[in-house]
Amino acid sequence: MNQNKQLGFWILTAFVVGNMVGSGIFMLPRTLAEVASPAGVIIAWGLTGLGVLMIALVFGNLAMRKPHLTGGPQIYAKELFKEDSTASKLSGFMSTWGYWIGNFAGNIAIVTTFAGYLSAFFPILTSQAVLLTVGDFTLKVGNALTFMVCTIMLWGVHYIIMTGINHAGKINFIATAGKVIGFGLFIIIGLFAFEKANILPLVEMKVDGSGVSHGLMGQVNLAAVSTLWAFLGVESAVVFASRAKRKSDVKSATIVGLMIAIAIYMGISTLVMGMLSQDALLASDKPLIDAITAVLGPVGGKALAFVGLISLFGSTIGWVLLSAEIPYQAAKQGLFIPAFLKENKHGIPTFSMIVSNGLGQLFIFSTISNSIASAFDFIIYIATLSYLVPYLISSTFQLKLVWTGETYQAHEKRSRIFDGLIGLLATGYSIWVIIKGTADLTTFLFGVILLASGILFYGYLPKNQKEAERIKRAYQKEAALAVDTE
């Protein structure tokens, strides 16, 4: 359909920046301060930025060498095994399943953060007044209103996207441009307000919740998963590759978007540590707003909160799109449930949108109870780790291409060596974060359960590629008829 080739370089770049620079920029300064000293935080950002850059280079290279494999990094899982084999089909489905869950869960984290920043203008969203009590459950006014805001936000974005991906992409571009300008101004102000005394000592021991002390490298290990959360979404252009005007834009948008995000994250994270004392940073639930308020007063805090709302709105558009696109593209290749192929006259995967956002709505219930919210935070941590599986798969697939020489010409010996080095570094980084993130047995087991739950739906997949193609053509015909009718 003609709706597919609509995304140019700048809109793709906006998706990459918008999806990466979302809730993480607001939440992470305090989270990182809890587990690492200033030096540990800076090193963690540097290592994560370098690791994600290697992964981004892998995505860009694979998008050029395997342009027919679209829909996200999890798609490469099937290419590691013999074509049309059970192992190929199962690995493609399972990696898509985990990646999909991580996406829509992460999207809801952004939606709930939006409600948190909206409370800067409407304090009633944090009201502790009791609305009703049923048995041991107490519903507070603030929780009820937050639930309503999150629900309206999710389904409002759903409606915007259903009108067409190009329309949604332009709105996301405007929101992303606004956030980049706003955070740029924050960095300039932070440079003048930075106080060296706040960031000292650069290195000190940190004690975790279990009473265990951690040195500098131990702190870097603890911060590894948190800093990675900030860069999730670097693969956004790859997921939308089939909708790009030019394949070359996918690689360029991925690299440029990542560079912009790294500059924003490292600049703001470092400056906030110099604008607030360590005690104030640890006690803050809105560190960026508290930092700018300390410099410019309440007006500055309100202005940054408004930038935050713009940022999170744009990110929500990008993540809702991403969440729906992943199973849709996988279904096109026979790796997901066929019903996810259904689309409207604008080329939007309607069934995938409804199911993804419907499941996301269940997560929004976490805003009703603080105890449920705590469990939700844990799920987000697990979801972050689920991204590393397709990241590792992509890096491994690049190594396979380099080893076999597939897609490489005789004169590309230097490129082959370079791609092999990039693949090794990206693989090493992914393995490092997986090991550090699953060091806790409970976390590891929940991660396994999350991925294994997908096996319940494996039987709904097409039996072979021929059946998958037949089903895809049927859905495409249905969509075409709907357009003709209207």
Instruction: Please name which of 76, 117, 71 lies closest in space to residue 321, comparing C-alpha atoms.
Output: 71
For residue 169, give the CATH number of its domain.
1.20.1740.10
Q: Residue 283: give the domain boundaries.
A: 2-485
Domains: count for the chain:
1
DSSP for 371-390?
HHHHHHHHHHHHHHHHHHHH
Residues shown for the chain = 486
Contacts of 2 (CB under 8 A, 6+ apart): none
353 neighbors 320 (Cβ within 8 angstroms) = yes
Residue type, position 446, single letter: F
Long-range contacts at 42-46 (CB < 8 A, ≥ 24 apart): 42/266, 42/269, 42/270, 43/216, 43/220, 44/219, 44/220, 44/223, 44/224, 44/226, 44/227, 45/227, 45/265, 45/266, 45/269, 46/266
The C-alpha atoms of residue 36 and residue 43 are separated, in whole angstroms, by 10
What is the pairing mode between strands 213-214 and 206-207? antiparallel
- Confidence (pLDDT) at 140: 84
CA–CA separation, 284 and 27 (whole Å): 10
Residue 127 CB neighbour total at 10 angstroms: 17
Neighbours of 460 (CB within 10 A): 11
CA-only gyration radius of the chain, Å: 22
Helix residue spans in 284-412 (DSSP H): 287-296, 298-332, 350-364, 370-404
pTM: 0.81
pLDDT by position in tens, the chain (length 486): 445 567 788 888 888 888 888 766 776 787 788 888 888 888 988 888 898 899 989 988 888 888 887 777 777 888 888 877 788 888 888 888 888 887 877 777 788 888 878 887 888 888 888 888 887 777 888 888 888 999 999 999 999 999 888 888 888 888 888 888 888 898 999 898 888 888 888 888 887 666 677 788 888 887 877 787 778 788 888 888 878 888 788 888 989 999 998 888 888 888 888 898 888 888 776 788 888 888 888 888 888 888 888 888 888 998 898 889 889 988 888 888 888 988 888 888 999 999 999 988 887 876 776 544 454 455 556 666 677 788 888 899 999 999 999 889 888 888 899 999 999 999 998 888 877 766 666 666 766 777 778 888 888 888 766 777 787 777 667 766 655 555
